[in-house]
Amino acid sequence: MSVADDPKTFGRTRLSFASVADIDEFVTTLDRFERGELTPDQWRAFRLVRGTYGQRQTDDAQMLRVKIPQGILTAEQLEALAEVGERYSRGFGHITTRQNVQFHFVKLHDVEHAMHRLADAGLTTREACGNSVRNITACHYAGVASDERFDVTPYAEALTRYLLRHPLSSTLPRKFKIAFEGCATDHVYTGINDLGFRAVLGADGARGFRVTAGGGTAIMVKSAGLLHEFLPASEILRAAEAVLRVFHRLGDYQHKQRNRMKFLIKTLGWTRWREEYDRELTACRLRGQVPTLDVDPPASESRPDWVKDSSPSVGHIASRVSAGRVTGPGLTPTVVPIFHAGDEAYARWRSTNARPQKQFGYIVVVATVPLGDLTSEQMRVVGELSRAYGDGTVRVTIDQNLVFRWVNACDARQFYRRLAAAGLGLAEAGSIADVASCPGAESCRLAVTQSRGLGRLLEDHLRARPDLIAAADGARIKISGCPNGCGQHHIATIGFQGSVRRLGSRAVPQYFVMVGGGATDTGATFGRLAAKIPVRRIPEALERLIDLYDRDRSDGESATAFFARVDLEVVKARLADLERLQPGDAVPADFIDLAEANDFAPEIMEGECSA
């Protein structure tokens, strides 16, 4: 096995994912680099695999990404994240679309100290970036969803532990993404992953997975192809290793823009690639090099059987989060504690942010986190609330929110009051107002635009217009600052991709508007380009798209289904006049990106994603 931890240890109490040896190696290698024994490229490749990503700023600014396997965080781990945010970052952390938590503007020589604090709580940054097996995501409803086949969490954790620090995991041509889903609805978009596992039950009730391979977005969108209709659950380690062996052996190590596994499959052809995979899978089985996964966990979670902590008061929570200090550069979270949440606000929140668990009497609660930003004090409060009302854990989601499980339905009102006091009581989870965004040009070297600025603008605009939220009927917005799609805009009902337009000698920030992306029973559908619109006109464009859906949809047709089937020329015609911008029509604000004060001057730097 790749780690010393016992892979049969599952459940709420998980063994550590951290390794002190990783941190010691980081310190030693940094010292070698600073003595000139390593080239910048060698150092960059090393630190990326250890979760340390250089930002676009020329001074000492690093992004530190923490892997949160399956999105699961304990109260103790939330405390560790809170301390890292306070001591070494800006007083807050950012939830990513792959269930990671990352911190920006970290000094390079603070990384060691942050890693040690994270390791104390069992967290690691190992293989969070770079050409490695990235964080393995899993459905945040796993174990408690009424429509799941079985709880996929133990299987996703077992594969995480097997591949963490595996010899192949950090020597790949490019990053490699894996996701697990057990529900009828694909909440984690397995179709855009290099490997996707969907839970299925055999005729005899045996557990297995429908396995897909080769998905991805960015410059070549591709829904994953079917690899196994039914793979016994005991075989997942072997299947994953076989795919990695083929990718490691035949993948393209030279061309950074086309070395994801989907490009290898395209080059070889599915039939040839499948032959190579079958050969490696047979070798894994016959030579005894990869074990079967010998576990038989419960099909769902068991009820917490310990006495819960007492809850902090509403006033205590509000005073703490109000006193929490956050700093720039960039957009910072605006925390607005609500002391007295009324009945109408509670009823709306209850209808959009809570759902019954399969276990009678309990609910799952989503805490909406605007832009995925949580202050350190909010993290501490979240941990305390998980102990007082839940099972001592929360799960971060690919929509950049938090999920509490095992909340007694009778406690919903009191729980909501405390979330509201923490500034986390917003309703509309899963609606068009629940916008997802990558960090964008605030920190990313590849980004063109300030995607977070657009995210905040659209959230504010929509929350001030409940009629638009209602009319959009569950449409989702996702924003990326560049084509790479870290904000997953390709699979949004309405996606926005940052771009630049030249108007004479000046630059205008604009967004490609894409419609019709989403998840299906068999994979993923990808948005179609409908317009290229200056950023200041995006709210108007959004209103027109919502109006088009509200006016022309069929009875019972979802927004995702509508925008996937509507004639693209109809959409283009609806937005055409917003695209047009002549020098004489432009106003000064057109030349300034959102969340900026000066003229838009895009600088696309050499990225580190494929270093």
The CATH number for 393's domain is 3.30.70
Residues β-bridged to residue 137: 179
- Cβ-contact 22, 50 below 8 angstroms: yes
**Strand ranges of the sheet holding 62-66, from the earlier edge strand across to the other edge:** 52-54, 62-66, 101-106, 92-95, 373-375
Q: What is the DSSP letter of 605?
A: P
Q: Considering only CA atoms, which of 222, 157, 209 is closest in space to residue 13? A: 157
Residue 534, preceding peptide bond in cis (omega within 30° of 0): no
Structure confidence at residue 9 as a pLDDT band (50, 70, 90): very low
Better pLDDT: 9 or 90: 90
Indicate if 282 and 374 belong to the same structural domain. no
CA–CA separation, 212 vs 358, rounded Å? 27
2 pLDDT higher than 50: no
Looking at residue 151, its pLDDT comes to 97
Q: Which of 197, 71, 88 has the alpha carbon at shortest distance from 123?
A: 71
Q: Is the pLDDT of residue 156 over 50?
A: yes
Last residue within a domain, chosen from 247, 267, 286: 286
Is residue 446 located within the same domain as residue 579?
yes
Q: What is the mean pLDDT of residues 457-466?
A: 98
Percent of the chain whose predicted confidence (pLDDT) is above 90? 90
Per-residue exposure over 38-60, b if at least 16 CB sit within 10 Å of its own CB, e if not: beeeebbbbbbbbbbbbbbeeee
Integer Cα distance of 297 and 69 in angstroms: 18
Calculate the alpha carbon distances from 53 to 92, 258, 427 in Å. Answer: 17, 21, 34
Partner residues linked to 72 by β-bridges: 395
Q: Is residue 306 a part of any domain in this protein? A: no
Residues 281 and 347 in one domain: no
80: left (phi over 0), alpha (psi -120 to 50) or beta: alpha
One domain, residues 89 and 235: no
Q: What is the mean pLDDT of residues 292-312?
A: 92
Is residue 390 a part of any domain in this protein?
Answer: yes
Q: At what angle do helices 538-552 and 568-579 cross, to 10 degrees?
A: 150
Give the model confidence (pLDDT) of 386-444 as tens digits.
Answer: 999 999 999 999 999 999 999 999 999 999 999 999 999 999 999 999 999 999 999 99
Residue 430 lies in a domain: no
pLDDT above 80 for 13: no
More confident residue, 384 or 305: 384
* Distance from C-alpha of 498 to C-alpha of 503, rounded to nearest angstrom: 16
d(CA 127, CA 164): 8
Reported confidence tier of residue 288, pLDDT bands at 50, 70, 90: confident
Give yes or no for residue 611 having a pLDDT over 70.
no
409 and 551 together in one domain:
no
15-31 average pLDDT score: 97
96 plus 161 within the same structural domain: no
Q: Is residue 199 in a domain? A: yes
Can you tell me the mean pLDDT for 580-607? 90
Is residue 426 in some structural domain? no
Range 32-49 average pLDDT: 97
Are 149 and 279 in a shared domain?
Answer: yes
What is the predicted pLDDT for the residue at 605?
Answer: 78
In a domain, 5, yes or no: no
CA 338 to chain centre: 28
Total number of domains constituting the chain: 4
| Domain co-membership, 108 together with 196 | no
Q: 582: domain CATH number? A: 3.30.413.10
- Cα Dmax for the chain: 72
Residues 76 and 188 in one domain: no
Using the 3D structure, point to which of 421, 450, 471 is the last residue of a domain: 421
Token code pair at residue 305: 């059987």
Q: Report pLDDT digits (tens) over 463-493.
A: 999 999 999 998 999 999 999 989 999 999 9
Strands (DSSP E) found in 223-375: 225-232, 354-356, 362-367, 373-375
Domain boundary among the residues 421, 448, 467 is at 421
Question: Model confidence at 449, in pLDDT bands (50, 70, 90)?
Answer: very high
Q: Would residue 13 count as lying in a domain? A: no
pLDDT at 148 over 90: yes
Mean pLDDT of the 189-212 span = 97
Give the chain's mean pLDDT. 95
Residues 105 and 177 in one domain: no
Does residue 160 have a pLDDT over 80? yes
What pTM, to 2 d.p., does this model score?
0.96
Give the lowest-confidence range in 54-58, 321-325, 562-566.
Answer: 54-58
pLDDT of res. 608: 72
Q: Based on the domain organization, do 441 and 583 belong to the same domain? A: yes
Work out the burial of residue 165: count CB atoms within 10 Å of its CB; fewer than 13 is exposed, 13-18 middle, 19 or more buried.
buried
Answer yes or no: is 91 within a domain: yes
Same domain, 268 and 353: no
Mean pLDDT of 349-373: 98
The whole-number average pLDDT for the span 121-141 is 98
What is the domain range of residue 57?
20-120
pLDDT average, residue stretch 209-237 = 96
